[in-house]
Chains A and B, each alone.
Chain A
């Protein structure tokens, strides 16, 4: 089962590097105007997503080449594109590139990349989390367009988003996977209501989005009617691959080690716990790098990366909090004041804040249980579990009616 190392094909990276150098030399400074003019230039130069078609921010190159561009830009001090508009950049743009019409790409990709338009993703629902294909938000025909009705949840950045990529049900009689369709939703349209969803750390990284007969034109449909599941699938893969990736956040393991050295810890029990956590973090990071950078050992399935990374981070951030002793019982500096950050990340705040935030890491982006099932099927080829929701229409599938959520939220 050992995989062959990845290799890159296509034009030599040095030609690409030259293009990046030219961009850095000729484009407006990245520090000006929130970086928007620089990114516009980057888009025109085809360096936004090098694997996209020419004219839509790309050069038609294999995806691995993006690493060259990103590395050079980062070394030059340019803020990574995925920071301010992570969903737009990482999830939506690839979907539009693969399944969108030319008109949609023309209309949306540029402003997505420059971050003039922030994007959110309208996928999960209270009754459809791990079972995302079970969603109930509907789209019904209304003249030449559609009307969307339902409720989405766990929507990051909905409070600042201009557009949302939504997955909705267009057919309730077909088996669940076959009745889904994707749309681009104008977050400023009538009928869209965004409410913050507060997490255990006091912050509202996420939102609920209520859609009350929101009108959507048919030219904002992405892909075929009933073709929504494919879009969701590719979206999920991208989401998982993003975990464990070298972002701009410090790695919790390296961070803990640095703390340990500075703090001159002489407690051997704590030292052992710290070293064990550091080592576990390192193992997760090295495994992530095998896929992203072709490091020794060969590429692995994204679910492996996500599982190792999320679980190592939880372990490490717990050790980091425990190491604070009684000081860890304080929740400084601003306590649980409600905040809606526009940057998503887990390494913000003090050890207590990070520890709390990271509890969600084994749930968001695919729960650890679901991802283990994915590995069992896709990598290990183990026999599948009996299913009770296939081969029957979506309407027939036993479901909750939402009483539990209503009880919790006091509605």
Chain B
């Protein structure tokens, strides 16, 4: 496809979005008391709601892909449109103005699995999955963490043993978002137990509907089950579904994880909505005239804006280079801001946070407050983030000192 000018591209995109989705009402025009009052950080849907969401997401993604907007900066040979990244960003900003269905279920596959496949997959796998992932025909999940391998992911124990022209996988994974909805999964397995832990891991792409794959929901403290455990019992994978070289899966994992941090910190968007809601709550509480409350709310707003500015800079760096440790700052700031918002909401609501009085926009915050601890742990705990910042960004020495005979840098 020949490269259009940005203006022509956006024009075409607008026409598509008008037809496929229609304009969204302006965000600020949503009055207090209307619509759903949820401020959940973790999606928790009933199975009917979930099925409906997935269907709508798929429908829209298919339309979008077929119209040429599903994978704007992807290589044409794999089903992308081959345009520069700036076009992708421009489309993303434009799309925010339209009433597009909730695409959360696709997010992991598009932002983490797809780039990983593009970087490390075989030709076979690239052709088989990249178009389908971007068209929404295939949903992906990530099978990394295990009960005994959380922060220390590299110590994972799920195994892959060669078998004919493929491998047999066995093990247990945990914290898998959307496993029950997924068609494929990126999985890390140990292929050389005698090598140092980082050097004996291989990554694979598995079919989540294959025999031997069992998914069980994991209930969390908010009451919902956004995550799953996945049991792999003698699951067979063809060798062409291996991602990257044998025993070099840790590099593949790094690619995926760096992209994970950039998805959890789509900070600008989600925190802005939350801040908006918080200010509305403050107004409704009738306490905005109280200087102490104003101080609290404005302090929180200030921190959120600071984080957004930071994320903007990090994003710009990522666009030009590779996403890297700078994202860790973003994630830490994000969790700190979530904690601040929690505190303010608690302060404003008081007893209404504690029991559901049925008033719109009050008890709904309880789910938010209860989700925050999980966010400080998942996708890299706050402690690991601090270590990463200390070592990779600040260049502080690692915890083990060098011996006398080693060079000190």
9-residue interface stretch from B97-105, B115-123, B287-295, B321-329: B287-295
Q: CB of A404 within 8 A of chain B?
A: no
B290 near A268: Cβ-Cβ < 8 Å: yes
A386, B276: Cα distance in complex, Å: 48
A334, B404: Cα distance in complex, Å: 50
Kindly list chain A residues whose C-beta atoms are within 8 Å of the C-beta of B400.
Answer: 386, 388
B292 near A272: Cβ-Cβ < 8 Å: yes
Q: CB of B395 within 8 A of chain A?
A: no
A267, B294: Cα distance in complex, Å: 13
| Chain B nearest CB, measured from A271 CB (Å) | 8
Contact-residue bracket for chain A: under 10
Contact-residue bracket for chain B: under 10
A388 near B292: Cβ-Cβ < 8 Å: no
Q: CB of B358 within 8 A of chain A?
A: no
A268 near B404: Cβ-Cβ < 8 Å: no
Q: CB of B36 within 8 A of chain A?
A: no
Q: CB of A398 within 8 A of chain B?
A: yes
A269 near B401: Cβ-Cβ < 8 Å: no
Residue of B nearest to A267 (CB): B291
Q: CB of A246 within 8 A of chain B?
A: no
Residue of A nearest to B296 (CB): A269
Kindly list chain B residues whose C-beta atoms are within 8 Å of the C-beta of A386.
Answer: 400
Kindly list chain A residues whose C-beta atoms are within 8 Å of the C-beta of B402.
Answer: 398
A388, B401: Cα distance in complex, Å: 8
Q: Per a CB cutoff under 8 Å, which of A272, A396, A398 touches B401?
A: A398
B404 near A269: Cβ-Cβ < 8 Å: no
Kindly list chain B residues whose C-beta atoms are within 8 Å of the C-beta of A267.
Answer: 291
0/1 interface trace, chain B 281-316, chain A, CB 8 Å (1 if under): 000000000111001000000000000000000000
B404 near A398: Cβ-Cβ < 8 Å: yes
0/1 interface trace, chain B 352-389, chain A, CB 8 Å (1 if under): 00000000000000000000000000000000000000
B295 near A396: Cβ-Cβ < 8 Å: no
Inter-chain CB contacts under 8 Å: number? 15
Kindly list chain B residues whose C-beta atoms are within 8 Å of the C-beta of A396.
Answer: 404
A267, B402: Cα distance in complex, Å: 54
A269, B291: Cα distance in complex, Å: 6
Interface residues of A in 269-290 (CB under 8 A from B): 269, 272
A269, B299: Cα distance in complex, Å: 12
Interface residues of A in 294-334 (CB under 8 A from B): none
| Chain A nearest CB, measured from B111 CB (Å) | 38
Kindly list chain A residues whose C-beta atoms are within 8 Å of the C-beta of B401.
Answer: 388, 398
Which of B291, B400, B402 has the largest count of A CB atoms less than 10 A from its CB? Answer: B291
A386, B402: Cα distance in complex, Å: 14
| Chain A nearest CB, measured from B319 CB (Å) | 39
0/1 interface trace, chain A 236-267, chain B, CB 8 Å (1 if under): 00000000000000000000000000000001
A272, B401: Cα distance in complex, Å: 45
A267, B290: Cα distance in complex, Å: 10
A396, B291: Cα distance in complex, Å: 60
A269, B292: Cα distance in complex, Å: 5
Kindly list chain A residues whose C-beta atoms are within 8 Å of the C-beta of B292.
Answer: 268-269, 272
A268, B404: Cα distance in complex, Å: 58
A2, B291: Cα distance in complex, Å: 41
A362, B135: Cα distance in complex, Å: 58
Kindly list chain B residues whose C-beta atoms are within 8 Å of the C-beta of A268.
Answer: 290-292
| Chain B nearest CB, measured from A383 CB (Å) | 14
A272, B291: Cα distance in complex, Å: 11
A158, B292: Cα distance in complex, Å: 48
Which of A267, A269, A386, A396 has the largest count of B CB atoms less than 10 A from its CB? Answer: A269
A294, B402: Cα distance in complex, Å: 48
Residue of A nearest to B290 (CB): A268
A386, B401: Cα distance in complex, Å: 11
A398, B404: Cα distance in complex, Å: 7
Kindly list chain A residues whose C-beta atoms are within 8 Å of the C-beta of B404.
Answer: 396, 398
0/1 interface trace, chain A 370-411, chain B, CB 8 Å (1 if under): 000000000000000010100000001010000000000000
| Chain B nearest CB, measured from A28 CB (Å) | 57
A83, B382: Cα distance in complex, Å: 45
Kindly list chain B residues whose C-beta atoms are within 8 Å of the C-beta of A398.
Answer: 401-402, 404
A261, B317: Cα distance in complex, Å: 52
Residue of B nearest to A397 (CB): B404
| Chain A nearest CB, measured from B399 CB (Å) | 8
| Chain A nearest CB, measured from B168 CB (Å) | 38
| Chain A nearest CB, measured from B290 CB (Å) | 7
| Chain B nearest CB, measured from A400 CB (Å) | 11
| Chain A nearest CB, measured from B350 CB (Å) | 15
A396, B401: Cα distance in complex, Å: 14
A300, B402: Cα distance in complex, Å: 38
| Chain A nearest CB, measured from B33 CB (Å) | 29
Kindly list chain B residues whose C-beta atoms are within 8 Å of the C-beta of A272.
Answer: 292
Residue of A nearest to B295 (CB): A269
Kindly list chain A residues whose C-beta atoms are within 8 Å of the C-beta of B295.
Answer: 269
A322, B292: Cα distance in complex, Å: 16
A272, B290: Cα distance in complex, Å: 12
Which of A267, A268, A386, A396 has the largest count of B CB atoms less than 10 A from its CB? Answer: A268
A398, B292: Cα distance in complex, Å: 52
0/1 interface trace, chain B 390-402, chain A, CB 8 Å (1 if under): 0000000000111
A386, B400: Cα distance in complex, Å: 9
A272, B295: Cα distance in complex, Å: 11
A344, B115: Cα distance in complex, Å: 63
Kindly list chain B residues whose C-beta atoms are within 8 Å of the C-beta of A388.
Answer: 400-401
A396, B292: Cα distance in complex, Å: 57
A267, B292: Cα distance in complex, Å: 9
Residue of B nearest to A386 (CB): B400
A126, B273: Cα distance in complex, Å: 52
| Chain A nearest CB, measured from B299 CB (Å) | 10
| Chain A nearest CB, measured from B276 CB (Å) | 23
A388, B403: Cα distance in complex, Å: 9
Kindly list chain A residues whose C-beta atoms are within 8 Å of the C-beta of B290.
Answer: 268
| Chain A nearest CB, measured from B405 CB (Å) | 11
Instruction: List the 5 closest pairs (A to B, CB-CB), nearest first.
Output: A269-B295, A268-B292, A269-B292, A269-B291, A268-B291
Can you list 15 residue pairs at the A/B interface with Cβ under 8 Å? A267-B291, A268-B290, A268-B291, A268-B292, A269-B291, A269-B292, A269-B295, A272-B292, A386-B400, A388-B400, A388-B401, A396-B404, A398-B401, A398-B402, A398-B404
Known: A269-B292, A388-B400. 4 other contacts (CB 8 A): A268-B291, A269-B295, A398-B401, A398-B402
